Structure 1
């Protein structure tokens, strides 16, 4: 599996790390624009970065009509995310996605379908997407998903704690969820589209990491506004500050709103420029954007053939 060798041990709640934090939104927006404008990627370099995006992708189905058959198709796509002729033309003999993410009731089916592949199964939990369930029930849902075989748990936080500045309550909630995860790695979904300000995004990120989150994640994909580059930049800066203070390496997962191959490039550029090459590996970076895979495959097909291909020529999950 692609997990880091060591996990984020967390720290005691340290409110002083939140004091005097005020994110300059126009400056964050300007920096995000400059990041992507300064690194145009073409040709072989672009293809290599797109392949890496697939390696870091959490292929996901979180629909109300999910079935075991749909999950099995998704897992087959995770094992072989691009067509064999494209893979061979790129000089690759093996490529998989970083993980498959499903609801808790679909974890066992996904584990069975991925047996022997080395691809971990991630599960959303804790009353996804709203998180508005009693904490005891949210912890039971984590326990269930882990017992079914999930190696990663994507939890959601209570947004009201952030909006009211209730940092101790947020910390205690996330720490309890981390304990419930046991050996499973925990990604903390902040639902940044609900948090109103980038300052809130930074503070929520820092508290989640203090509570032991192994990854911080932007969105459920169900909010009105999901992953954006300014939000991601803010979270990555919090991640970097936390690492500087503790030495711990925490992963980052943008999710929702990303649909194109260019989006895949943009978020990788952000990671490289802000954190370096280590955060271009699936143990520290994931993309929660399954719809993006089809567009990446089309771009790679055009790269190896020199011509545009119709989307219906490529298999979908």
Structure 2
């Protein structure tokens, strides 16, 4: 499989040029975007209190007055998940008890994935033991860069088995894979090895989620479905900060995969600041005025 870069870029350019979502429809799409956010904190200064506040935001992602103005009282709006380091999984699970919001944990030597294999598998086991419902693993980029696809398959397969009942998202770190052809192949091998989702980035690379890379990964998901009949989800992460960004990715999913991939069981955003801008745009829709960003804190 090879990927035509110029054709990929032309397809992405057509998204913004031909598709707009305005007014009531825009508000509805932004509500759907909230439901697909993996609200994330992956920082060295994470504390139990910070994670608890983030979980409270996940339970109530919009201010009560905005929820009432949108006619969503009683709807139960919440984010798709909360994503934390393994050490914070127990705190998040307790804070989200009875909410129906799953806890996701990064693992396997995040973000570089350059720790011994047994240690990576042990980290998965620890996070699952703490109550994580989803595990975001990182692949070894060296296997992709050297074309060692069997090694990549074996690695991801071992991680899939370690996850047990937990859903597994395979982070490709696409900004470090050099070519779009590598991105496609890594996506396909990860799905063959049992990944429930393929995810663009850790958020720590120099280049994270981009629409051209996402198109290639989404096409791989579509091809895998055609080849095998197996459904896989997609998660862009890193650098998605604005409501406009969110709608661009939702349009991509709608056009390439259809409405089933506009729901959190098959599509997620990995984001920490995106929700604040979405809330700000919804406030503008309700009141006609833009508020300052500090009115919509995350934690």
TM-score norm. by structure 1 comes to 0.93
Of residues 267, 273, 286, the one that matches 1:291 is: 273
Query: How far 1:26 sits from its partner (Å)?
Result: 1.1
Gaps of 5+ in 1: 1-20
Task: Tell me how large the CA RMSD over aligned residues is.
Answer: 0.6
2:169 alignment partner, SS class: strand
Q: Deviations over 1:246-285 (max 9, x none)?
A: 1111000000011100000000000000000000000000
- Matched with 1:314 is 296
- Matched with 1:255 is 237
- Matched with 2:17 is 37
Q: Which 4+ residue blocks in structure 1 deviate beyond 4 angstroms? A: none
- Matched with 1:22 is 2
Query: How far 1:289 sits from its partner (Å)?
Result: 1.5
C-alpha distance in structure 2 between counterparts of 1:135 and 1:316, whole Å? 35
- Check whether the contact 1:36–1:269 (CA below 8 A) recurs between aligned residues: no
Which residues of 2 match residues 210-249 of structure 1 at below 5 A?
Answer: 210-249=192-231
- Matched with 1:51 is 31
Q: Deviations over 1:82-140 (max 9, x none)?
A: 11111111111221000000000000000000001000000000000000011110000
C-alpha distance in structure 1 between counterparts of 2:158 and 2:82, whole Å? 24
- Check whether the contact 2:203–2:237 (CA below 8 A) recurs between aligned residues: yes
Which residues of 2 match residues 89-100 of structure 1 at below 5 A?
Answer: 89-93=69-73, 94-100=76-82
Query: How far 1:62 sits from its partner (Å)?
Result: 0.2
Q: Deviations over 1:21-76 (max 9, x none)?
A: 11001111110110232111110000000010000000000001110000000000
- Check whether the contact 2:273–2:298 (CA below 8 A) recurs between aligned residues: no
2:54 aligned with 1:74: yes
- Matched with 2:256 is 274
- Matched with 2:66 is 86
- Matched with 1:17 is none
- Check whether the contact 1:75–1:110 (CA below 8 A) recurs between aligned residues: yes
- Check whether the contact 2:243–2:278 (CA below 8 A) recurs between aligned residues: yes
- Check whether the contact 1:35–1:273 (CA below 8 A) recurs between aligned residues: no
1:96 alignment partner, SS class: coil
Query: How far 1:290 sits from its partner (Å)?
Result: 1.9
2:237 alignment partner, SS class: coil
C-alpha distance in structure 2 between counterparts of 1:312 and 1:223, whole Å? 27
- Matched with 1:173 is 155
2:114 aligned with 1:132: yes
Q: Deviations over 1:230-261 (max 9, x none)?
A: 00000000010000011111000000011100
C-alpha distance in structure 2 between counterparts of 1:119 and 1:217, whole Å? 19
Q: How many residues align?
A: 297
Q: Deviations over 1:180-220 (max 9, x none)?
A: 00000000000000000000000000000000000000000
Of residues 152, 156, 171, the one that matches 2:138 is: 156
C-alpha distance in structure 2 between counterparts of 1:142 and 1:312, whole Å? 36
- Matched with 2:40 is 60
- Matched with 1:9 is none
